[in-house]
Amino acid sequence: MTKQDVENIVAKQREFFRTGETLNVDFRIRQLKKLKEAIIHFESEIEGALHADLGRSPVEANLCDILPVLIEIDESIKGTRKWARPEKHFSGILSFPSLTTRVNKMPYGTALIIAPFNFPIMLSIGVLQAALSAGNTAVIKVSSKAPACAEIIEKVVEYAFDEKYVKVIKGGHDVADFCLEARFDKIFYTGSPRVAVHVMEMAAKHLTPVALELGGETGNWCIVRKDANLRDAARKVAFFKILNSGQICININQVAVAREVADEFLNCLKEEIIRQIGESPESNPEYPKLITGAAYEKCAAEAESYKDRIILGGTGNAQGCKYSPTVIYPVGIDEDIVKHELFCPLLPVVPFDDDKVDELIKTIEEREHGLALYVFTKNKKWARRIMQKMQFGGGCINEVIMHIMVKGVPFNGTGHSGMGAYHGKWGFREFTHPSTVLEGSAHFNLSLREHPYSGKAGENKKKMFNMIRKL
């Protein structure tokens, strides 16, 4: 794939967009149905690709990628007609006699979707369905780290669409840069804050609007207070850290647990990890793997530097790229391991005094905004206050990850964890821009806006303005 190839693809899509065919809501809904049909048609191959790249079992493949995408497509099929309907507004007395203003929900045009490896279906096709619902054409740059998934995504798209409408592009960083150098009308990137800076720099050259879904530079916190249901908290934390071997942008990066209950929580956590995935996770065929040998080595090296504080795990299978869920305790809040996103099954645990929880919150707030926050406590009033006070993407009280499965609500980040929002109608909004159109009238026009502005005429106009302000 050369730079010229990318430019030719974009040119074809831009030409197709200008025909106006994608503006038709019936057309969009038909395309969403075709996309759903394609996913169902290739479901077994999608499962196989997710196993090949990430070691996912068929159940986890459905839970993490296939089912969420199908649910979102169904939501868009049902909602697109309503979401796309122009809003009608009264223009106001100042605009008289032009009484009607409409806000049209206009697609941007040709969208670029840069997808990551960790949820290769959900974060490519799941984003694509939002772009199509909004009336755009789209190019998907798939991750080269997940080659089997890249192949099946291309297969799904080619089965459903012509390349003038949707096209998959494969390749490494050089191809990604070819895409960023081309003039797209909207860019949606999922990945790391470091690469996001590069994406924004490239987009700025064309003043292209960008949506970013990032992991958060200093990771996502989970806070377990002394009044929490410790067994329940441990069960959910264990599940989450096992899922996709920790390679999840909203996963728990580190747990802060009240010192008063730390031992009890850690015992529950160890029991739950063993119960759910066994004593030798790296040999369990259901346990996912790390995406590459380099990712495995990075995880193993970081674990080695904390080997004297590993209380569970610390073992791996380099050949299979599987590293066991590894609990590290105690870890200070200022240590390096809790100052960057891990994206692996390592779980540092930071003890804190429960009566000094405000100091913990202050430290977290001083760091970069996370994509998620999780708190476990019986004190719902405190938990709600914290959730409304702190800056992060989204999260849960006494639960993990499930906020992303709720229909009709946004998924997004803030600051170093991203910008923009999607899922359902929020994805439709992300890929459209509101265009305000006032419908004028040639009758009963007032001269308030016209000269003269001085003398008696000016005074009368000011009186009229004052009357309008009081309405």
Report whether 108 contacts 430 (CB < 8 A): no
Q: Given 64, 149, 249, 299, which residue is catalytic?
A: 249
Q: Is 249 a catalytic residue?
A: yes
Nearest to 143 by CA among 167, 117, 119, 118: 117
Q: Is 399 a catalytic residue?
A: no
Could you tell me the two tokens for 340? 């960057």
Q: Is 256 left (phi over 0), alpha (psi -120 to 50) or beta?
A: beta
Residue 179, H or E segment:
helix 173-181
CA 355 – CA 378 distance, rounded (Å): 15
Q: Given 60, 72, 75, 213, which residue is catalytic?
A: 213
Nearest to 138 by CA among 4, 1, 17: 17
CA 182 – CA 43 distance, rounded (Å): 33
Nearest to 187 by CA among 265, 283, 115, 100: 115
Neighbours of 261 (CB within 10 A): 19
Residue 54 one-letter amino acid: L
HSE-CB of 433 using CA atoms within 13 angstroms: 11
Instruction: Provide Rg for the chain, Cα atoms.
Output: 26
β-pairing, 110-114 vs 186-191, is parallel
Residues with catalytic function: 213, 249
